[in-house]
Structure 1
Amino acid sequence: MNLIGEAFAWIFSGDQSPYDSIPAALGVQLLYTLIAVVVAGAIAIPLGWFIGHTGKGRETAVAISGAARAIPSFGLLILLTLLLGVLHKPEAAVISFVILAIPSLLAGAYTGLEAIDRRVIDAGRSMGMTEMQIFWRIEVPLGLPLLVGGIRAATLQVLATVTIAAYIGLGGLGQYIIAAIPLRRLDMLIGGAILVAVLALVVDGLFALLQHLVVPRGIRVAASAQPQRRSSRQRRAEAIAVGAPTAPAATP
């Protein structure tokens, strides 16, 4: 408990010299996370929507997502830094973060559309809606909760990975942890870990709230009025979006 107290004392002391102040380190942590998730989203979300809407390339997307999730974050960061050179460390870091964020975003985009009951889409077609109208008025709104779930998973993964970017001198909250190890500053080490954990919990809580808010109002009302058990398709889709293992589908 004394170490925890010393860690909080270090956090609230406001004296982090010769390192960046906590607000500055927090800004760097969030900036790299935001850039990586935005770039990865611009690549993965349109591709995921195309796969979910057309059903084409799903097996390839699943294989790529699975392979990308197996890439070690630290190894990828060091490899890209060596390939691009020490003068391009920020670019190497952003590329590695984007690669790590793409699988969750891609899975969230296409599983969100795949989880939609096909009868709803058939009803839209029977009413004379075009494919673009079906996509924007039916598929995107109904698939938004799982997409936000994918963004949530990608953001948390990148946010945690940005911590190790301090190893190549990019700052962020990880600089306190990296610097504290050789100095044997347990107060700074534990304090940095607490800051990263609290930031991740806050971001996760905000995304959990957003994921609840983007559920279409009609679905929320129907679900509260008549609770139903989720279908196996929905459970598998949610599991794929966050990268969890899925159970085989039951035989009807």
Structure 2
Amino acid sequence: MQNLDREIRIWAKLKHQYVLPLRGTVEQFGPFRALVSPWMPNGTLDSYLNNVHETFSMMDRLRLLKKITEGLQYLHDHDVIHGDLTNNNVLVAADGSPRLADFGISNIMVQSNPAFSYHTGAVRWVAPELLDPPEDQPIQCATKSTDIYALGGIMLQVLYGKQPYWWLKSAIHVISARFKQAEPINSSIEIQPNHLDFMRRCWSTASEVRPSVEEVMNYLQEALSNETSSV
């Protein structure tokens, strides 16, 4: 609870247009306090992309991805780790702009309970060092680098409408594929080579090879410029 208090205090101080604001907390909703934030009428990133996929251009997708990355950059600039960046933890406001939500809680869970394992939905997005830590090392907590791994999955979903390991329906099959070091993509969709190369950097099993959030921003700015010049 002390860790949760600390995370709530940190969240309450964060002010960014692409980070979901915390309005307050409410008791008596169960064993933990309920955290109160503004309602996002377009729901999760997953549902929003399903609704707009027929009208969403590559330019639209790159702009949305850049806004998500701006939110993550703000968190990292304030030494805040998201820790659970998935398509369900990016919400979409009425104007179609994203809000990062539910950050910081996964590290609390790991620190308070070493047996904590990432919930079944997150196994598609979580970095390998968190999913299968070395036996002789302490339990790993999320880092800026693990956020970048997850951002690679967000990139795949925003640009190509597919979540990581989309052809596998159950969590146990995803986990099996992860332990076999299968990539989060297969050959059933065509991905632009420059996008694919960058996503693979984000998904590197060596955390030090992954780009920083600033490098992701630079890449997306260049991709937007290239897309504009090709129109």
What is the TM-score when the length of structure 2 is the normalising length?
0.31
Task: Report the structure number with the largest CA radius of gyration.
Answer: 1
What is the TM-score when the length of structure 1 is the normalising length?
0.29
**Which is strand-richer, 1 or 2?**
2
| More RCO (CA 8 Å, sep 6+) | 1
